[in-house]
Structure 1
Amino acid sequence: MSSVRLSGVGVSSGRASGPVVRVAEPLGEPPAGPAPTDPAAEAARIRPAADAVAARLRERAAAASGDAKDVLETTAAMAADPALLSQAEKSVVSDALPAARAVHQAAGGFISALEAAGGYMAERARDVRDVRDRLVAELLGVAAPGVPSLSSPSVLVARDLAPADTADLDPAKVLALVTEEGGPTSHTAILARSLGIPAVVACRGVLDLDAPALLVDGDTGVVQASDGAVRAAHVAGRAEWNGVGALRDGYRVKVLGNVGSPADAVAAAAAGAEGVGLFRTEFCFLSASTEPSVTEQREAYAAVLAPFAGKPVVVRTLDAGADKPLPFLAPDPEPNPALGVRGLRVAFDRPDVLERQLEAIALAAADTDAEVSVMAPMVATAAEAAWFAERARAAGLRRVGVMIEIPAAALSAHEVLAAVDFASIGTNDLAQYVFAADRQVGAVAALNDPWQPALLRLVKLVGDAGTAAGKPVGVCGEAAADPLLACVLTGLGVTSLSMNHTALAGVGAKLASTSFDLCQLAARGAVAAADPVSAKLAARAPH
């Protein structure tokens, strides 16, 4: 039994072993028939079912706190979403579908739209699937999928885990998490780190592994059959942090939040973020059939900026394109959208859209007194950086930067930084372009491991360029949320780290426990390593 050994992507440090508890698979697609004899009565079943699901989630939220409470409340709100329920009710009547099938199909439309949006929005599709499965189970009168009640410490094994599945896990009962799907930026990875639970994702074959107990190594990503003894060596869970991003020797590294909505901004501010390193503006555009006016954009942006009055906020201009279809842009079909007209490239054809957005950002900054900077996504060359900087400054935005998420921009970082005031590395996209590996595809998740030495070497190029130019370099990809990797990034010349609000305290506390010379030592070891596991072990040695 002990010879059975699988490898995945370690996303939360620590080692643990114990008996396996499997999480039930999601419900399959409900049948499309028989047609209801009374469509109106069948449609009327949907709202009460949604109310029941939402009520149970709110009940769990009332007993939770912090991040778990936020996740459960958000999921409850999604279960009662009027747009989803209305679409399902219409399908029952117009298409003569059973209520469960109508909910499944209506949710499918939302899921497809989110996945088409890519990036951060695509990651929210998992949330909608969770809500869909809970509603369908309620309508069918069967138990909802999810984590069973744990009577003793166990290793949880699942295809994937939804936010509501993991939100109120008890670290005293959950020794480790292993999922067959998911990746380094998945919700499972983010929450496991915040709870201090060892976790391995993208562990192909784990669902077929006939082992009553497993040993899980969240550092190396190795999962193997064990003797069943309960052992745990968890990393620290929720860390205490004083809210100041600084090493113990006083070296400053700003610890910032990633936000994409007013709710995100409130959560980041409450968690102690020193500001915002990435404000995604897509939320203002994705549901719009026509381009939002300057006034509409101004109000939407101001709602996000308000919690950070007097603090730095970096606003990213619209990251849209063929993979994020916005009707008013009328994009042409492309055979490979990820390599097509997206991000700043859209503005080359429609500079008027960019100019109106920049005007709205400047007005919102004046409304809120936030210290606003602006940056462009998908910049490939220094000439593109200069083109954007000229327009941003003409709009009255004095501090201008760019995202480094295309390898060409990292390789020409000296020239790019000569045209702007700062750079921010989007490690999620940079990794998928470096390795030609879609970060939404579990089969290639190991290539998108942020500990890949090739990725870290590109970060070093940008960090060195920033140091030479005396200009800040941030990281706003999920790599910044890993406390140990945050130390490595600091040693590579990164001056700010921006992340989901759940990771702020852990990263801030880790930075406060180390020094700049140790960060540099860890960085040298990680960059010189041959693979992600070796990089992580080399970085851990000084710490």
Structure 2
Amino acid sequence: MSSTRLSGVGVSSGRASGPVVRVAEAPGEPPSTPPPADPAAEAARVRPAARAVADALTARAAAVSGDARSVLETTAAMATDPALLSQAETLVTGSSLPAPRAVWQAAEGFITALTAAGGYMAERARDVADVRDRVIAELLGTAAPGVPALSTPSVLVARDLAPADTAGLDPELVLALVTEEGGPTSHTAILARSLGIPAVVAVRGVLASDADALAVDGDTGEVTASDGTVLAAGTGPAISWNGVGVLKDGHRVKVLANVGSPADAKAAAAAGAEGVGLFRTEFCYLSATEEPSESEQRAAYAAVLAPFAGKPVVVRTLDAGADKPLAFLEPEAEPNPALGVRGLRVAFDRPELIDRQLAAIAAAAVDTGAEVSVMAPMVATAEEAAWFVARARAAGIARAGVMIEIPAAALAAREILAEVDFVSLGTNDLAQYLFAADRQLGAVAALNDPWQPALLRLIGLVGEAATATGTPLGVCGEAAADPLLATVLTGLGATSLSMNPSALTAVGARLATSSLDVCQLAARGALAAATPAAARTAARAPH
């Protein structure tokens, strides 16, 4: 390492250096033998271990606030999930498995289902794995995996970081974050930006290095050995935002939140979101063995809409299919499910499925008073867009749009815009399809960097079409959570930006210091760049 330079994907700006502290990894898959001498007594160990983990996480939550507290409280609740614990106990008593192995196998079922669901739900699989590892460590009497107590400023190095690892990190002690896995949309990236901690992810080979100190550049993604000198990025003055997305010249850009559950919605409202730019409805279907009834959907959606009465909420219809299997859909096997029947395509053969969902959404809007719009995922053509809008209108929903997350849709933007009331750029999937690079795979994370010039140019095409037609253009991918990139997206024509609630203040504050002409200059510079690093540099120049 001392004579080489490693590189990854810079996901949180800033430079820092200092001594390395390695994050303890999980104990790994426990053995299934020997069988317990007393299965009943062995099963009785599961719940106390889970309670101990939950209590420790709850105690940590009490010491922090905001998004960090919400993350820790959610993880604590997962640790005592009745379904998980009951299944683990059954595996002990019914299959004579040791308690650690039973917890592992019970959690694997949940992890598999979440991973298969894809997108936002797949990200929750990491949370379940973290809870599993903590409970197993408690049962084994070993140290809990994760970030150790820090006494001096340090650079944290890890394979990846779970939400509970990153929540509550002290920016005074954590100089920078470096992970071997992860990507631009990972929780590590989101929280690092919100805390102002430089971070680089997908740094292949960093775990094998023996460097005692590292210098980290969150802008270029470079990680190099250092002499141990402590250099903090500097947090600067506290960031504040008045809760209104507006540039200093008065140009309006709504700052919205992405949510996927009632808890998410409450957290977003508490964080000051002006509304919701992406309400993922998959939570209502994930564990269902049959399609939820219209009344069940109505109640579930109303619980999410309630905190935003009188405010705009964009609801995305079911984004499922062969790569996000749901039991009641009974999808046929496909050789390449990511390119198969998913998103809106599921509804073409089952229009009654989306009709019932749209009816439930319309009813929930009436119940709560939220200003609801709907949008369809995985739309490729203007014909598909028109089909969806007609069904939304028939359900009594006045405002309907589509996601632009397939390159073909971006290239056909003018035709699509003629059929809809708005569009929303899903930059995570758009990048994935544009570069043929799985966004969950660390080995190709650099291609999913939202600063890739090719991606920005494709977004620019949509922005030109939206500006010419006066059609609202939202961005609901994780690109919107980067304050500097938010100004570029605004310069490209975005009229609203939707993100994880933890990023709202930083993005809102950054927009308030920019004007539209500066944003447009930053956008032109980024579009002309040849690399993501050059695009970042060019975007900073006008500010």
TM-score (norm 2): 0.99
* Contact 1:13-1:234 at 8 Å conserved across structures: no
Residue of structure 2 in register with 1:153 after alignment: 153
1:434 is paired with a residue whose SS is helix
Amino acid at match of 1:497: L
Amino acid at match of 1:370: A
Amino acid at match of 2:537: L
Amino acid at match of 2:369: D
Whole-angstrom CA distance in 1 between matches of 2:116 and 2:434: 21
**1:234 Cα offset (Å):** 3.7
Whole-angstrom CA distance in 2 between matches of 1:88 and 1:336: 34
Q: Does 1:416 align with 2:416?
A: yes
Q: Does 1:317 align with 2:317?
A: yes
Whole-angstrom CA distance in 2 between matches of 1:121 and 1:230: 38
Whole-angstrom CA distance in 1 between matches of 2:344 and 2:237: 39
Residue of structure 1 in register with 2:42 after alignment: 42
1:207 is paired with a residue whose SS is coil
* Contact 2:374-2:401 at 8 Å conserved across structures: yes
Residue of structure 2 in register with 1:278 after alignment: 278
* Contact 1:196-1:238 at 8 Å conserved across structures: no
Matches within 5 A, 1:129-144: 129-144=129-144
Amino acid at match of 2:222: V
1:54-92 deviation line (CA, Å, top 9, x unaligned): 011111111111111111101100000001001100101
* Contact 1:2-1:227 at 8 Å conserved across structures: no
Whole-angstrom CA distance in 1 between matches of 2:436 and 2:368: 41
Q: Structure 1 pair 238/503, CA: closer, same or farther in 2 (3 Å)?
A: farther
**1:542 Cα offset (Å):** 1.4
Q: Does 1:439 align with 2:439?
A: yes
Residue of structure 2 in register with 1:251 after alignment: 251
1:420-447 deviation line (CA, Å, top 9, x unaligned): 0100000000000000000011101110
Whole-angstrom CA distance in 2 between matches of 1:525 and 1:209: 36
Amino acid at match of 1:228: G
Residue of structure 2 in register with 1:492 after alignment: 492
Whole-angstrom CA distance in 2 between matches of 1:373 and 1:46: 45
Amino acid at match of 1:304: V
* Contact 2:12-2:197 at 8 Å conserved across structures: yes
Q: Does 1:369 align with 2:369?
A: yes
Residue of structure 1 in register with 2:359 after alignment: 359
Q: Structure 1 pair 30/2, CA: closer, same or farther in 2 (3 Å)?
A: closer
**1:95 Cα offset (Å):** 1.1
Whole-angstrom CA distance in 1 between matches of 2:260 and 2:522: 32
* Contact 2:16-2:216 at 8 Å conserved across structures: yes
1:451-486 deviation line (CA, Å, top 9, x unaligned): 000100111111111111111000000000000000
Whole-angstrom CA distance in 2 between matches of 1:237 and 1:498: 25
* Contact 1:19-1:154 at 8 Å conserved across structures: yes
Amino acid at match of 2:137: A
Q: Does 1:162 align with 2:124?
A: no
**1:24 Cα offset (Å):** 1.1
**1:2 Cα offset (Å):** 5.2
What is the root-mean-square deviation in Å for CA atoms of aligned residues?
0.9
* Contact 2:175-2:233 at 8 Å conserved across structures: no
1:159-178 deviation line (CA, Å, top 9, x unaligned): 01111111111100000000
Residue of structure 2 in register with 1:77 after alignment: 77
Residue of structure 2 in register with 1:387 after alignment: 387
Amino acid at match of 1:473: L
**1:3 Cα offset (Å):** 3.4
2:129 is paired with a residue whose SS is helix
Q: Structure 1 pair 32/361, CA: closer, same or farther in 2 (3 Å)?
A: same
Whole-angstrom CA distance in 1 between matches of 2:63 and 2:151: 19
Amino acid at match of 2:497: L
Whole-angstrom CA distance in 2 between matches of 1:226 and 1:76: 37
**1:227 Cα offset (Å):** 1.2
2:436 is paired with a residue whose SS is coil
Gaps of 5+ in 1: none
Whole-angstrom CA distance in 2 between matches of 1:234 and 1:542: 22
1:279 is paired with a residue whose SS is strand
Residue of structure 2 in register with 1:115 after alignment: 115
2:233 is paired with a residue whose SS is strand
Amino acid at match of 1:425: L
Residue of structure 1 in register with 2:330 after alignment: 330
1:208-245 deviation line (CA, Å, top 9, x unaligned): 11211110000000000011111122455862100000
Residue of structure 2 in register with 1:10 after alignment: 10
1:83-121 deviation line (CA, Å, top 9, x unaligned): 100110010111110000000111111111111000110
* Contact 2:475-2:498 at 8 Å conserved across structures: yes
Q: Does 1:186 align with 2:186?
A: yes
Amino acid at match of 1:233: A
Whole-angstrom CA distance in 2 between matches of 1:86 and 1:4: 50
* Contact 1:20-1:213 at 8 Å conserved across structures: yes
Amino acid at match of 2:49: A
Whole-angstrom CA distance in 2 between matches of 1:179 and 1:115: 20
* Contact 1:15-1:234 at 8 Å conserved across structures: no
Residue of structure 2 in register with 1:51 after alignment: 51
Residue of structure 2 in register with 1:215 after alignment: 215
Whole-angstrom CA distance in 2 between matches of 1:60 and 1:219: 31
Amino acid at match of 2:260: G
* Contact 1:88-1:99 at 8 Å conserved across structures: yes
Whole-angstrom CA distance in 1 between matches of 2:176 and 2:237: 13
Whole-angstrom CA distance in 2 between matches of 1:71 and 1:236: 25
1:231 is paired with a residue whose SS is coil
Q: Structure 1 pair 496/451, CA: closer, same or farther in 2 (3 Å)?
A: same
2:517 is paired with a residue whose SS is helix
Residue of structure 2 in register with 1:482 after alignment: 482
Deviates more, 1:22-31 or 1:11-20: 22-31
* Contact 1:406-1:429 at 8 Å conserved across structures: yes
Amino acid at match of 1:419: E
Residue of structure 1 in register with 2:502 after alignment: 502
Amino acid at match of 1:456: L
1:256 is paired with a residue whose SS is strand
1:263 is paired with a residue whose SS is helix
Amino acid at match of 2:182: G
Q: Structure 1 pair 412/75, CA: closer, same or farther in 2 (3 Å)?
A: same
* Contact 1:194-1:237 at 8 Å conserved across structures: no
1:466-523 deviation line (CA, Å, top 9, x unaligned): 1111110000000000000000000000110000100000000000011111100110
Matches within 5 A, 1:60-75: 60-75=60-75
Residue of structure 2 in register with 1:93 after alignment: 93
1:32 is paired with a residue whose SS is coil
2:57 is paired with a residue whose SS is helix
Whole-angstrom CA distance in 2 between matches of 1:290 and 1:492: 43
Amino acid at match of 1:460: G
Residue of structure 1 in register with 2:529 after alignment: 529
The alignment of Structure 1 onto Structure 2 pairs a total of residues equal to 543
1:250-306 deviation line (CA, Å, top 9, x unaligned): 110000000000110111011110000000001011111111111111111111111
Whole-angstrom CA distance in 2 between matches of 1:62 and 1:56: 10
* Contact 2:197-2:233 at 8 Å conserved across structures: no
**1:325 Cα offset (Å):** 1.0
Residue of structure 1 in register with 2:24 after alignment: 24
* Contact 1:196-1:237 at 8 Å conserved across structures: no
* Contact 2:50-2:80 at 8 Å conserved across structures: yes
